[in-house]
Chain A
Amino acid sequence: MAADVRAFARTATELYRDVALAEKHHLPPHDHDRLKRAIEEVKYHSEEAQNLLKAQEQEQDDANGELGSQDWTSNPASAAAVLVHYESILRNKRLMLAYVHERCQKIKAFRWRLGNAVPKEIVDRMAPEEVHFATQYNRILSEYMTGAGVDDRLGNIDLTLDATLPPKEPYVKVLVKRDIGEFVTEEGKTVHLIPGSMHLLRRCDAEPLIVQGVLEHEGYA
């Protein structure tokens, strides 16, 4: 493994690039192998640095018997090597954390955009740890929005609404994208939402459906 390990954080860079260059709403599959390799590289760098440090200590003990003195001037090559190993560790660490963080942001965005119903093909691209995170994030966000366990006056408030701009009119023009058949509005009227048809709906009725992608916001009345 020594050969490809000398790439100094190249694996981690590729790892991060994979998610950084992905399209906004696209989550690439979790790259377990590369992540594991990057971790191995950190271990390798860490061991190498430790060995160099030990060798240096040994050398100095032999020379003057003085413990803990750090005189690298006689040995600039290994001093530089230790530094490069050290910097490689930090760089690897940051890249890996950035990778996890970036994916985490995307996973959160799914919750906001699609609600609880994250499609299976997206879940399949997550690591088990990420699936756990997604479930738990969903839970704490719902807890916040329903106000579970807190005593305040806010009640139940759905913050994932407002896919449209600030309200100008009480009615919005929407285009039906998906067939969900009959829909009963808050006022108790029934609308047939047939794909391709346009409707004028009240904001509060239309909002949840726009977020779900059943309707598309076409403009104001």
Chain B
Amino acid sequence: MDDFAQHDEDDPLTQHNTNVDEDPYARLKRAFVNERACPEILQYEESLVDEAVEHVDMQQAELDDRRASAATAEAGRDSSASDDLVDLLKTMELDRVKYLLRAYLRTRLYKLETFSLHIMQDSNLFSRLSQRERRFLGSHTDLLDKLHDDLVLKHLPQQFNSLVQQDTLVGETNDMVPSPNLDTHVFIRVRGDLGRVNVGYSESEPNGRPSEVDMSAGDQFVVRYRPIAQLLANGEVELL
């Protein structure tokens, strides 16, 4: 990720939730890194993706124009070296934005495939997806269902023919649905002063005690994902 470091220098770490003034490239990069490092699927950044696509289209059109006019001008005189350099830089920038965009979408698609059934069952997770992702997830789950059913499940005794339950006679819970481990640890960077934050266990989790740390802008921590999930959703911390 070092390649993108120069874009981070002027990253206003002290800002709270105010993504608006920030460079769209830095925001897209953050969306990608967050998604990549996060165990569960995050809210789809629709406006950000739209903005990036618009930017790419605009740049591409501009480049095409320049090439076309350069081609006509070339007959008359040598194209200037500085023009070539500008072209090169623009092409590079375009490639980077496209790469980031694809990597972002691919990371999400990977999570959709891995946790298909889990996301389908959870309306909160499902609501985080884009239109395309919803369509894909729906068909993907059907396909998986059909494949496992045709090859194995429909040949088994009825009691054992469910894809999501080991034994349909024992309890109602789906005990065969893979889900992400939300208790895994993640690296975070704090984006604004947050004061004391509980990164231990909450009251609803009986197996541990709360433990608080001071979070100020720019601090970095390794913490369990679950307690900071909401902070990440609010944009108050970012993953590394």
User: Could you tell me which B residues sit within 8 Å of A by CB distance?
Assistant: 1, 3-4, 46, 49-50, 53-54, 67, 88, 91-92, 95-96, 99, 101-103, 105-106, 109, 113, 130-133, 135-136, 139-140, 143-144, 146-148, 150-153, 155-157, 159-160, 163, 166-167, 176
For residue A137, CB closer than 8 A to chain B, the reply is yes
Q: Are A144 and B135 in contact (CB under 8 A)?
A: yes
Q: Are A130 and B152 in contact (CB under 8 A)?
A: no
From A40, which residue of chain B is reached at the shortest CB distance?
B155
Closest 10 CB pairs of A and B: A140-B139, A167-B95, A129-B150, A144-B136, A46-B157, A150-B131, A39-B155, A96-B152, A153-B50, A170-B92
How many angstroms between the C-alpha atoms of A179 and B159 in the bound complex? 56
From A202, which residue of chain B is reached at the shortest CB distance?
B91
Please, which residues of chain A bring their CB within 8 A of the CB of B4? 166
Please, which residues of chain B bring their CB within 8 A of the CB of A137? 140, 143
Q: Are A155 and B147 in contact (CB under 8 A)?
A: no
For residue A173, CB closer than 8 A to chain B, the reply is no
Please, which residues of chain A bring their CB within 8 A of the CB of B54? 153
How many angstroms between the C-alpha atoms of A101 and B106 in the bound complex? 20
Residue from the list A35, A104, A154 in contact with B49, Cβ < 8 A: A154
> What are some 5 contacts across the A-B interface (CB < 8 A)?
A35-B151, A39-B156, A93-B156, A153-B49, A167-B99
Q: Are A104 and B147 in contact (CB under 8 A)?
A: yes
For residue A84, CB closer than 8 A to chain B, the reply is no
Q: Are A152 and B132 in contact (CB under 8 A)?
A: yes
Interface string of A121-133 (1 = CB under 8 A from B): 0000001011011
Q: Are B135 and A149 in contact (CB under 8 A)?
A: yes
Q: Are B101 and A157 in contact (CB under 8 A)?
A: yes
User: Could you tell me which A residues sit within 8 Å of B by CB distance?
Assistant: 35, 39, 42-43, 46, 89-90, 93-94, 96-97, 100-101, 104, 108, 127, 129-130, 132-133, 136-137, 140-141, 143-144, 147, 149-155, 157-159, 161-162, 166-170, 187, 202-204
Please, which residues of chain B bring their CB within 8 A of the CB of A133? 143, 146-147
Q: Are A150 and B156 in contact (CB under 8 A)?
A: no
Please, which residues of chain B bring their CB within 8 A of the CB of A150? 131-132, 135
Instruction: Report the minimum CB–CB distance from A146 to chain B (whole Å).
Output: 10
Q: A137-B143, A152-B131 are in contact. Are A159 and B105 (CB under 8 A)?
A: yes
Please, which residues of chain B bring their CB within 8 A of the CB of A140? 135-136, 139-140, 143
Instruction: Report the minimum CB–CB distance from A119 to chain B (whole Å).
Output: 21
How many angstroms between the C-alpha atoms of A141 and B156 in the bound complex? 31
Q: Are A154 and B132 in contact (CB under 8 A)?
A: yes
How many angstroms between the C-alpha atoms of A108 and B152 in the bound complex? 19
Please, which residues of chain A bring their CB within 8 A of the CB of B102? 157-159, 161-162
Instruction: Report the minimum CB–CB distance from A198 to chain B (whole Å).
Output: 21
How many angstroms between the C-alpha atoms of A43 and B176 in the bound complex? 21
Instruction: Report the minimum CB–CB distance from B28 to chain A (whole Å).
Output: 13
Please, which residues of chain B bring their CB within 8 A of the CB of A168? 3
Please, which residues of chain B bring their CB within 8 A of the CB of A42? 156-157, 160
Q: A35-B152, A153-B53, A154-B132 are in contact. Are A129 and B147 (CB under 8 A)?
A: yes
How many angstroms between the C-alpha atoms of A153 and B130 in the bound complex? 12
Instruction: Report the minimum CB–CB distance from A214 to chain B (whole Å).
Output: 20
How many angstroms between the C-alpha atoms of A143 and B150 in the bound complex? 24
Instruction: Report the minimum CB–CB distance from B210 to chain A (whole Å).
Output: 37
